[in-house]
Amino acid sequence: MTETPAPVLPAATFQRRLLEWFDVHGRHDLPWQQERTPYRVWVSEIMLQQTQVATVIPYFARFMARFPDVRALAEAEQDEVLHLWTGLGYYARGRNLHKAAQAIVAEHGGELPAEVEALAALPGIGRSTAGAIVAQSQGHRAVILDGNVKRSLSRLHAVEGWPGRPAVERRLWALAEHYTPHERLPDYTQAMMDLGATLCRRGAPECGRCPFADVCVAHARGEERRFPESKPKKALPTRTTRMLLLRDGQGRVLLEQRPASGLWGGLWSLPQFDDEAALTAWLDVHAPASRLETPRPSFIHVFSHFRLEITPQPARVERLDAVGEARRWYDPERPDAIGLAAPVKALLAGLAPFALDPPPAPEPVSASRGE
């Protein structure tokens, strides 16, 4: 097994350079930095996973306004939590945030645990997120290794291999442990994240502004874009689905709630079918008086592990008294506060009651923000 690369600088020198850069160029006015409670830091860290700061800021503000503390979040309905999460992607984060809040109230007296190990045992909180919460809200020494830190350390030391491999990740944790100081933990932790987010970026690192350009192994080799090494690629399979856009005489749309786990878990979606025959058979049983309209153009929604080709199938029914469990009528003109799957939200937003011409299909959705 490849050994951990030797640190390029003594820990004290690394810390001094980083913090001097951060004091001048770092981000000091982010909303969650203004009142660094464990709860606010925790929510921000979960939202920031796989998501850019600019995207998170308005979601964080709305979330804090509705759920100002962990008890308010724990007592909320999952539908309301997912409604405020809609559009942020990776909805398992929202579900786990809600579950963890309930566990914190039930098992920890409504206070986030102060230890990394106890935090990491909660749903959706791993070792790095737990470290960020402890370091930023309490100022205690705790090591982080999020995507930004992995990228910076991988380039700085030219660490071979994809960081998702356990052996590679262990080497990166060892380097992160070496550099983490015992003082100024909130600033150091934010500085490490800022370094990767603003300078050592994925696509176009700004090496000329980096405080470590003179010791960066990847930069010396001219191989900044090689590191960190990518995950071995597999061709994404394409699945197909038909989404039923069933509207009643009032212009309402029939929705059904997805199972708690799996694709769009717990969110509200349009009824989905593998093919036209399955959709027609369902209508024959549940809405025999309905009439099909011309299918809308298909579009692609991209997940991390597959592509989903969605064909919206409009249909009309004057009245449907019994919609069954886990289904509801949704009025696009007076939308309910519920969590919606991203492509469904886009489709519903384009609906105008009694419109004669369907709106264009939603633009293809990138995998960068997940579900």
Which residues 6+ apart lie within 8 Å of 213 measured at CB? 207, 219
Q: What angle, 0 to 180 degrees and rounded to 10, lies between the N-to-C axes of helices 127-138 and 38-48?
A: 140
Task: Report CA-CA distances (Å) from 179 to 78, 146, 161, 200.
Answer: 40, 15, 21, 17
**DSSP string of 98-134, one letter each residue:** HHHHHHHHHHHTTS--SSHHHHHTSTT--HHHHHHHH
Rounded Cα gap, residues 48 and 309, in angstroms: 28
* Bond from prior residue into 205 cis (ω within 30 degrees of 0): no
Active-site residue 111, yes or no?
Answer: no
Decide: 129 and 137 in contact? Cβ < 8 Å. no
Q: What is the rounded CA–CA span in Å between residue 173 and residue 150? A: 9
Rounded CA gap, 309 and 93, in Å?
24
Dist. CA 165–CA 163, nearest whole Å = 5
The candidate with the shortest Cα–Cα distance to 155, out of 102, 210, 73, 93, is: 210
Q: How many CB atoms lie within 10 A of CB 103?
A: 14
Rounded distance between C-alpha atoms, residue 98 and residue 302, angstroms = 26
Give the C-alpha separation, 290 to 316, whole Å. Answer: 5
- Parallel/antiparallel/unpaired status of strands 238-247 and 307-316: parallel
Candidate list 20, 35, 45, 115, residue with the active-site label: 45
Give the residue numbers marked as catalytic. 45
